[in-house]
């Protein structure tokens, strides 16, 4: 991203939302700067932090909502301060091999993506990164940042509730029309669904996302977006059931594309489709809605 690109900020009390390029569209994202009287922390330093680096105040801690490439892309700018992740995602930042295990891509995609993570997202291993857990609080001096474990996207994906400004940072519960992403080895469809039910109970004045939406004010606007976001899961499953009106293999399902659009040029799309939709198939099998008519071939029950 050129250094001349104009990047916007939005102040929400002690919280500054540092909007990413192109509205936080991947590979960029919206980071949060949270200032207290004693410490300042930076949540999810994105690629768009890099051109801002000279304008940032002193940062005392980096806190990552989870260990994905776009959320840790700016961590390398802060080698002398602690980096914090949930204990379940902590291994990912400790080595590139652990990081790649999160995705679970097979070759040749795995090796190609490893180079992307290292070169384009500046992956820097941090063996001494610090773990946090659900309910932990970062006390910054008059400002408190509380951890809410929200798994599904990754095992350790977390939200943060920031007081006294009543801001909830949603990370990659990004409320977009794309819907929930549960396409990695460390993702879980059913954990994500449990998380979405729990998130509905969170009341706040402001809701901030890492991608696209940015900031929503008020619970009504949040719930409207959340319901549309969550409904994508059932839409995928409904379309899958329709597709299985004839016997289909998992390869057929992957090729049909239920997560990405057929025209989307995404090199790892097949891997994501396989991981995402195999979870739907397994659920439909358990529920007795689909049967395996022959090894690896599935058909909906009439």
Q: What is the pLDDT of residue 5?
A: 58
User: Whole-angstrom Cα distance, residue 166 to residue 163?
Assistant: 5
Domain boundary (197, 231, 265) is at 231
User: Whole-angstrom Cα distance, residue 209 to residue 175?
Assistant: 8
Domain boundary (199, 231, 263) is at 231
Domain of residue 20: give its range: 9-231
Same domain for 213 and 271, yes or no, is no
Contact 225, 175 (CB under 8 A): yes
Domain boundary (196, 231, 266) is at 231
pLDDT surpassing 70 at residue 1: no
Same domain for 256 and 284, yes or no, is yes
pLDDT in tens, 259-289: 999 999 999 999 999 999 999 999 999 999 9
Same domain for 146 and 259, yes or no, is no
pLDDT in tens, 288-297: 999 999 999 9
Give a yes or no: residue 91 inside a domain: yes
Same domain for 78 and 221, yes or no, is yes
User: Whole-angstrom Cα distance, residue 53 to residue 89?
Assistant: 26
Q: Which residues of 181-217 are buried (b: 16+ CB within 10 A; e: fewer)?
A: bbbbebbbbebbbebbeebeebebebbbbbbbbbbbe
Give a yes or no: residue 216 inside a domain: yes
Give a yes or no: residue 133 inside a domain: yes
Number of domains in the chain: 2
Same domain for 226 and 287, yes or no, is no
pLDDT in tens, 158-205: 999 999 999 999 999 999 999 999 999 999 999 999 999 999 999 999
pLDDT in tens, 88-97: 999 999 999 9
Give the pairing of strands 297-300 and 290-294: antiparallel
Same domain for 119 and 142, yes or no, is yes
């Amino acid at each position: 991203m050129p250094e001349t690109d104009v990047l916007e900020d939005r102040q929400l009390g002690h919280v500054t939302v540092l909007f990413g390029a192109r509205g936080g569209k991947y590979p960029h994202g919206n980071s949060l700067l949270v200032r207290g009287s004693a410490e300042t922390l930076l949540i999810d330093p994105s690629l768009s932090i890099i051109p801002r680096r000279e304008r940032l105040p002193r940062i005392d801690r980096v806190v990552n909502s989870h260990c994905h490439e776009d959320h840790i892309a700016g961590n390398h700018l802060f080698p002398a301060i602690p980096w914090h992740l949930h204990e379940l995602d902590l291994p990912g930042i400790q080595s590139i091999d652990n990081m790649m295990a999160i995705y679970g891509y097979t070759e040749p995609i795995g090796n190609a993506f490893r180079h992307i993570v290292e070169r384009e997202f500046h992956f820097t291993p941090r063996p001494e990164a610090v773990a946090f857990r659900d309910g932990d609080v970062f006390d910054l001096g008059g400002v408190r940042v509380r951890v809410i474990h929200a798994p599904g996207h990754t095992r350790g994906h977390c939200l943060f509730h920031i007081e006294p400004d009543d801001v909830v940072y949603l990370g990659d519960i990004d409320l977009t029309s794309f819907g929930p992403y549960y396409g990695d080895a460390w993702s879980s469809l059913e954990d994500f669904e449990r998380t979405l039910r729990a998130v509905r109970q969170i009341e706040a004045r402001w809701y901030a996302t890492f991608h696209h939406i940015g900031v929503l004010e008020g619970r009504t606007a949040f719930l409207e977006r959340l319901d549309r976001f969550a409904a994508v899961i059932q839409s995928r499953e409904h379309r899958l059931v329709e597709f299985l009106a004839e016997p289909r293999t998992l390869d057929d399902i992957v090729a049909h594309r239920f997560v990405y659009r057929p025209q989307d040029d995404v090199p790892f799309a097949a891997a994501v489709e396989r991981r995402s939709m195999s979870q739907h198939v397994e659920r439909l099998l358990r529920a007795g809605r689909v049967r395996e008519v022959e090894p690896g071939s599935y058909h909906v029950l009439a």
